């Protein structure tokens, strides 16, 4: 079944893109589905972009359905980050009669694009589309990790799929393909202690905003561990991203957002990025759409600087270190990339029948601080959570 039936072309007059003889712009390197050009071929191992103007599952942010073309309008004007840049823009998902119809179309598109080894950018729309993207991985029978950049956990208990319940609904799927979830930048006054405890009970990982802002290298390792990165633009502070129904005076700075987008682009594992909750109706002269486009520029720049240095795939590019923790009766194996100086730690799976199923989970991205902590005799918290999930 062709995914073309789910997609409509981008109207060129919506982009405001003007080629320049002086600067090579991204719009010059984006092969766009337009009424004139038709649907482009989807290559292998490429960057693919799709807009999803769906917001019926949003919580109090109606209007974010208009974001995809608004983000494109700024993205197409930016300079090319790399001479090899080539992006395929498949256009916008045709919105279904119900939100569930749109979820189905998105899941089909995600599965089709990822099946060819491509990396997909979803321009939302509301964050409940993360659920639809997850269903695409489900179609591929692929165990996966989700990292969300969000001031909240979106774990509210409700059978209806919304931008505040999507994670809860993923967790309730059976069979379940979500192995691990990390939250970056939650703000305690939006979350509450009960949900913090729930994240811990689920053996998921969550980091407060201030904790990450002290050391963004932790964000890098968690993003590097994501198959799917889901971004609620409300995690960026109001002064930098006012285009949201309920922006917060606190949050990541725009520069930190762009840094995390570059981390995601450089991750060999991350093959789906969702940018959600940008609402042009509340924006200030396109400020939020422009910032989101610049973050996407950093993702693209990072993508074309991937090192392909995962020790599981290219062990010759890594140095290996063993650390023995006598009081815990554990040996933990660390790897440091010779190409990027990034760190991983291997997590053993004692059930041989599950090792192939969880093969993508056995090498866990980490930081030099994790290695130092282990050298001091302590088990890294993230390693222990992973070990419990693999061997429970």
Domains present along the chain, CATH in parentheses: 3-303 (3.40.800.10), 315-391 (no CATH)
Per mean pLDDT, which range of 189-193, 273-277, 291-295 is the poorest? Answer: 189-193
Residue 321 has pLDDT above 80, yes or no: yes
Is it the case that residue 327 has pLDDT exceeding 80? yes
Residue 19's pLDDT is: 67
Phi, psi of 348 (to 5 degrees): -75, 145
Q: Is residue 17 very low, low, confident or very high in pLDDT (cuts 50, 70, 90)?
A: low
Q: 227 exposed, middle or buried (CB, 10 Å; 0-12, 13-18, 19+)?
A: buried
Residue 106, pLDDT > 60, answer: yes
User: Cβ(92)–Cβ(53) under 8 Å?
Assistant: yes
Average pLDDT, the chain: 94
Contacts of 183 (CB under 8 A, 6+ apart): 147, 148, 150, 153, 199, 204, 205, 206, 207
Which distant-in-sequence residues (6+ apart) come within 8 Å of 2 by Cβ?
A: none
What was the pLDDT predicted at 249?
96
> Which residue is it, tokens 């989807």?
42
Rounded mean pLDDT, 128-152: 97
- Quickly state the pLDDT bin for 350 (edges 50, 70, 90): confident
- Cα–chain center distance at 20: 32
* Distance, CA of 327 to CA of 330 (rounded, Å): 8
Mean pLDDT of 229-258: 96
Q: Of 334, 313, 336, 326, whose CA–CA distance to 383 is shortest?
A: 334
Q: What is the mean pLDDT of residues 310-336?
A: 93
Per DSSP bridges, beta strands 178-186 and 363-366 are unpaired
Residue recorded with tokens 């991937």: 306
CB 269 within 8 A of CB 228: no
User: What pTM, to 2 d.p., does this model score?
Assistant: 0.96
């Amino acid at each position: 079944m062709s995914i073309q039936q789910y997609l409509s072309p981008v109207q060129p007059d919506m982009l405001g893109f003007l080629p320049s003889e002086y600067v090579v712009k991204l719009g010059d390197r984006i092969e766009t589905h337009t009424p004139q050009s038709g649907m482009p071929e989807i290559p292998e191992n490429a960057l693919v972009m799709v807009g999803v103007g769906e917001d019926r599952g949003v919580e109090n942010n109606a209007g974010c359905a208009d974001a995809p073309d608004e983000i494109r309008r700024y993205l197409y004007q930016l300079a090319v980050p790399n001479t090899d840049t080539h992006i395929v823009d498949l256009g916008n998902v045709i919105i279904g009669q119900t939100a569930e119809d749109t979820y189905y179309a998105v899941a089909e598109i995600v599965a089709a694009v990822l099946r060819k080894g491509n990396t997909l950018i979803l321009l939302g729309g509301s964050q409940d589309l993360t659920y639809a993207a997850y269903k695409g991985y489900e179609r591929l029978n692929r165990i996966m990790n989700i990292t969300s950049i969000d001031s909240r956990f979106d774990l509210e208990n409700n059978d209806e799929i919304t931008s505040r319940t999507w994670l809860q609904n993923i967790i309730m799927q059976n069979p379940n393909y979500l192995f691990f979830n990390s939250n970056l930048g939650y703000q305690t006054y939006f979350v509450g202690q009960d949900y913090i405890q729930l994240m811990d009970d689920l053996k998921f990982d969550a980091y407060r905003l201030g904790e990450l802002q002290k050391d963004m290298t932790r964000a890098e390792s968690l993003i590097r561990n994501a198959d799917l990165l889901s971004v609620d633009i409300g995690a960026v502070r109001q002064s930098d991203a006012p285009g949201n129904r309920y922006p917060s005076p606190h949050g990541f700075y725009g520069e930190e957002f762009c840094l995390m987008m570059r981390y995601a682009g450089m991750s060999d594992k991350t093959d789906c990025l969702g940018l959600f909750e940008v609402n042009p109706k509340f924006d200030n002269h396109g400020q939020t759409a422009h910032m989101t486009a610049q973050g996407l520029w950093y993702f693209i720049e990072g993508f074309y600087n991937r090192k392909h240095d995962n020790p599981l795939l290219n062990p010759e590019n890594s140095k290996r270190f063993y650390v023995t923790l006598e009081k815990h009766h554990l040996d933990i194996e660390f790897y440091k990339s010779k190409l990027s100086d990034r760190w991983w730690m291997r997590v053993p799976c004692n059930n041989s029948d599950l090792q192939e199923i969880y093969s993508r989970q056995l090498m866990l991205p980490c930081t030099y601080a994790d290695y130092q902590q282990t050298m001091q005799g302590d088990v890294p918290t993230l390693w222990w959570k992973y070990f419990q999930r693999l061997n429970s």
